[in-house]
Amino acid sequence: MTAVNDAAYRLARAYPGGVQSLAPRIGKNATTLTQEVSGTGTAKLGLQTAVDMTLMAKSVGVATALDILNTFATECDCVVIPHPAAGMSPTNVPEMFHRLATLSKEFADFLGVTSKHSTVDGLSDNQKAAILKEGAELMSAAQAAMGVFLHGLGGAASASHES
């Protein structure tokens, strides 16, 4: 079983009511979905089914709803960064300062990890993972800060770059 199928298998079981409840909500037969996520039989897990499973699980608050997406990204040596508008509270001055403080902290953490692991001997897989994790957190904080500034200061960003 691939890592992505493994994540789908866990997600199907984490869904309230399990595969029996999830399958009809995404237009599948429970037996077929079980075969798709377990890699048995001739049924294969399709991309659209994985998307449907993820969205359905996310809509009911399953904590591991994004596991398929995150596992797919990891398999591709990538990271998933949440969209800045997701879960953003109404914009105000304290929120802006909070986002900037978080961005500053993440930048410091990223510099700390990269300088700690800088060697002439190359990087271990664990060191690469630590740098990738801190880089992703830095990008996420940057997107959140941009979201507050671009969406919270009267709408769309101006095309002008004047200071």
Query: 21-45: per-residue pLDDT in tens?
Result: 999 999 999 999 999 999 888 889 9
Band of residue 59 on the pLDDT scale cut at 50, 70, 90? very high
Query: 107-134: per-residue pLDDT in tens?
Result: 898 888 888 887 767 888 888 888 888 8
What whole-number distance in Å separates Cα of residue 12 and Cα of residue 50? 10
Calculate ∠ Cα 64-109-74, nearest 5°.
35
What whole-number distance in Å separates Cα of residue 40 and Cα of residue 8? 13
What whole-number distance in Å separates Cα of residue 22 and Cα of residue 18? 6
